[in-house]
Structure 1
Amino acid sequence: MGLFDRYEGLLEAYRDVRTTGYDPFQIRMERVLSPTEAIINGRKTLLVGTNNYFGLTFDPSCMEAAIEAIRAEGTGTTGSRIANGSYTEHVALEQEIAEFYGKKHCMVFTTGYQANLGLISTLAGEGDQLLIDADSHASIYDACKMTQAEVVRFKHNDPSSLEARLRRLGDRPGNRVVVLEGIYSMLGDSAPLREFIDVCKKYGAYVIVDEAHSLGALGDNGRGLCESAGVLDDCHFIVGTFSKTLGAIGGYCVSNDPDFDILRVTVRSYMFTASLPPSIVASVRQALKVVKAKPELRTQLWSNVATLYEGLAAKGFKLGPEHGPVVGVHLPDRMIAIGFWRAMLDAGIYVNVAVPPATPNGVSLLRCSVCAVHTKEQLEHMVEVMTGIARQFGVLEDRTLRVVGGAH
């Protein structure tokens, strides 16, 4: 038996992808010009697949904060906070994030993936039940592999399915820990969070919400789905990332739990990895200030979402169920999705291709992510390019509106 025999299905999909002549999972950006453009394959390319929701990777104040931090404190910490100690800026960032959410406690992680991995596998232990949405992110599934809790899946975005599983658990001992997401990263749909919270309250379950794709985008103050649904105080733990709206890298968890700090000596992904370097901490602190000071970025993001989503819908594309910063474009099968992605790149537009087995329900997608600093002209151009390619591939046989679900 070969080492990679167990991945035969994935290897087949990967071979299909590479038949285009490009490997979408190893694209090289020769130079990033701005939040919305880069040089790829020697040509200027529009970026609509980078999760750079507010365009803060090139915000002058964030870049200057990072540069000054390097000059003052060097390029890295060279160890974990448990071993090497915390910098003043680590503590300040945690305080600022906690204040942003109106919570008492915050922990900062080196990546958002590590935040989910460590927190979930630590909170749900032996004798507990960990309940997750079927379409959960890979970091949540990987946390399931690390925990000794019983793992139970419920149907995607279906509170009644969660309730049925909690009811079935009956009076069994152990904590119930439910993990939800604000905006799901493939189809761009959001959880019916208030309904989920009602179910969790009824059965005494703890709630973890991952706001990776909803930080900044949702809520009157950009605090995510928990804020927009009015349930900030009902979510026991909120997890997020700095690598999307805040334009850097890292992760965090906030909570009001009085024993929260015990996590600092129990969560292995916090204890045994190097802490964020000063430059990243400084840029994130500044990015958080920008998010709070410039609500017009959120307004512009949603205007751009409408331009792309409604433009594609009007042409007849089959889209995800909601308006949102993630726009999933459904395609008939894997090979069409791969060829479509290649044609888009040849036309100077970079999006993500997502194919089975890495997608919900085996769908094949082009995954687009909208940025607040995209221009309307850029997004309208993208709609026209996609329409032309779709007709070449026979994807748009007519101009009938075919949208899955309703608008958000």
Structure 2
Amino acid sequence: MFKRELQKEIENIKNNNLYRFLRKKDNTNNILDFSSNDYLCLSKHPEVIDAVKDGLKYGFGSTGSRLTSGDINHQILEEKIAEFKGTEGALVYSTGYATNVGVISSLCKKGDLILSDKLNHASIIDGCRLSKSDVLIYNHCDVNHLRDLIEENGNNYNNLFIITDGVFSMDGDIAPLDKLKKIADEYNGILIIDDAHGTGVLGNGRGTLKHFNLKPSDNIIQIGTLSKAVGGLGGFVCGIEELIEYLINTSRSFIYSTSLPPCVVSGCIKSLELMERGDLTKKLQKNIKTANKIFKEYNFIKEDNLTPIYPLIFKEKTMEISENLIKNNIFCVGIRYPTVPKGLERLRVSINIGHSEGDFGVLCECIKKVLN
């Protein structure tokens, strides 16, 4: 009975053209990768790999949660993150997803109100669902709508939490943090920023908050990942010391998860050291300017990007283009509903410091052949 029900559901998914499957990526130099989030190419940096090897002196796995046997070199990484982000403290989780779910569900309680951007990442949405707070969705980056929702509803709650991505993962646009911070201050709210795609990319690598020249404060919580520009695995939250102490004692996805392998932690520490120099982020920004130029020449974008995420919207042609790219050794996966709304299917082109001007041209020519 159960098997038949699953088969029926899978068939429905297929009939609606929503079927997903695992696609193995060739990690050799034969493929041109425009889907990776490894913006600074640190996942394969020789110094990072050497650091990972050195971290194996602690053993392959951490063998337990941070509160039991799994606290090895993790506090060194947390000190490095706090210094990098300019905060009092930081706490590392096993994934970025676990960070958002754990932080939001711990902090946001019954009697509180969460105001969440319409295009926030799934991990934020799930964290909101797990919390006991009421949740209102404001239109994407629409500070006027946000303010209206607070004016209409804010007086009925103990605490207000404004939650947003710093850089939105499917569109590459930047949240108006300067305006969101002003609203948070005005209404005595707390601003939670998921800077997964901003860290290493904006603000000389320090992230979206630095991009707006905003200083960390008591009512700002920064969340990030170690699996994108850092090139490793894991997530982190940083803010005031009391926040970190509270989460260690209450955040279920932190308390009940085996901690990151110490070799991964060692690699992330080295990645942050390399990122601190600033030259990698400058190289990325230079490549973004080159991509802007090429993509404009092909009429794939109208305005310049500030981030390495390019949503090239081809609607019903998207999956055909994606398959053709893969046949030509260009890895660029099409994104469709429910990840993005129907009618906004797109190639999510993600560029990094390893791409050349010629690579952008090859990508565009291959797309153009399908469109013509």
Length-normalised TM-score, structure 2: 0.93
- 1:161 equivalent in alignment to 2:145: yes
1:327 Cα shift?
A: 0.6
1:58 to partner: Cα distance: 0.9
Residue 388 of structure 1, CA deviation: 2.4
CA shift for structure 1 position 310 = 2.8
CA RMSD of aligned residues (A): 2.1
Q: Displacement of 1:195 after TM fit? A: 1.0
Q: 2:52 aligns with which of 56, 66, 71?
A: 66
Structure 2 CA distance, aligned partners of 1:10 and 1:181?
Answer: 29
On the 8 A contact 1:309/1:327 being kept in 2, the answer is no
Give 2:255's match in structure 1, choosing from 265, 268, 271. 271
Corresponding residue to 1:348 among 319, 329, 335: 329
Q: 1:78 aligns with which of 53, 63, 67?
A: 63
Residues 113-152 of structure 1: pairs in structure 2 closer than 5 A: 113-152=97-136
Q: 1:160 to 1:273 in 2, by over 3 A?
A: same
In the alignment, which residue of structure 2 is the partner of 1:112? 96
Question: Does the residue aligned with 1:233 lie in a helix, a strand or coil?
Answer: coil
Instruction: Identify which of 257, 260, 269 aligns with 1:285.
Output: 269
SS at match of 2:216: helix
Structure 2 equivalent of residue 311 of structure 1: 294
Identity of aligned residues (%): 27
| CA offset digits 1:242-275 (Å, max 9, x no partner) | 1000111000000025353021010000000100
Report the 3-state secondary structure (helix = DSSP H, G, I; strand = E; otherwise coil) of the residue aligned with 2:247. helix
Q: Greater shift after overlay, 368-377 or 263-272?
A: 368-377
**Using the alignment, how far apart are the partners of 1:103 and 1:133 within structure 2?**
24
Change (3 A) 1:242 1:6: same
Distance 1:352 1:320, change over 3 A: farther
Alpha-carbon deviations, 1:185-217, whole Å to 9, x = none?
001111111011111111111010011001011
CA distance in 2, matches of 1:10, 1:208: 34
Counterpart in the other structure of 2:187: 203
**Alignment partner for residue 102 of structure 1, among 60, 80, 86?**
86
Task: State the distance in 1 between where 2:213 and 2:176 align.
Answer: 12
Q: Which amino acid aligns with 1:374?
A: H
CA distance in 1, matches of 2:343, 2:161: 27
Gaps of 5+ in 1: 38-43, 392-408
Cα displacement (A) at 1:174: 1.3
Residues 280, 320 of structure 1: CA spacing in aligned structure 2 closer, same or farther, 3 A cutoff? Answer: farther
Evaluate the alpha carbon distance shift between residue 125 and residue 9 of structure 1 in structure 2; reply closer, same or farther with a 3 A threshold. farther
Identify if the C-alpha distance between structure 1 residues 281 and 159 changes in structure 2 by more than 3 Å, giving closer, same or farther. same
Aligned to 2:23: 27
Letter of the 1:226 counterpart = L
Equivalent of residue 180 in structure 1, options 155, 160, 164: 164
Q: State the one-letter code of the partner of 2:34.
A: V
For 1:57 and 1:373, the matched residues in 2 are separated by 12
SS in 2 for 1:130: strand
Answer yes or no: is 1:54 the counterpart of 2:40. Answer: yes
1:360 Cα deviation from its structure 2 partner: 4.3
Aligned letter for 1:126? K
Q: Is the 8 A contact 2:113 2:154 kept in 1?
A: no
SS at match of 1:329: strand
Q: 2: CA distance between counterparts of 1:128 and 1:5?
A: 40
Equivalent residue of 2:155, what SS? coil
Partner of 1:374: 355
Offset, 1:145 = 1.6
Task: Name the counterpart of 1:328.
Answer: 311
Tell whether the 8 Å contact from 2:202 to 2:307 is kept in structure 1 after alignment: no
What is the TM-score with the length of structure 1 in the denominator? 0.85
Per-residue Cα deviation, 1:125-152 (whole angstroms, up to 9, x for no partner): 1110011000010101111221110011
Partners of 1:267 and 1:218 lie apart in 2 by 29
Deviation at 1:311, TM superposition (A): 1.4
Distance change (3 Å), C-alpha of 1:76 and 1:127 = same
**Structure 2: gaps spanning 5 or more residues:** none
The answer as to whether partners of 2:315 and 2:343 remain within 8 angstroms in 1 is: no
Counterpart selection for 2:224 from 215, 219, 240: 240
Q: Which residue of 2 aligns with 1:225?
A: 208
- The one-letter amino acid paired with 2:339 is A
CA contact (8 A) 2:162 2:191 kept: yes
CA shift digits 1:371-401 (9 cap, x unpaired): 112122222222222222222xxxxxxxxxx
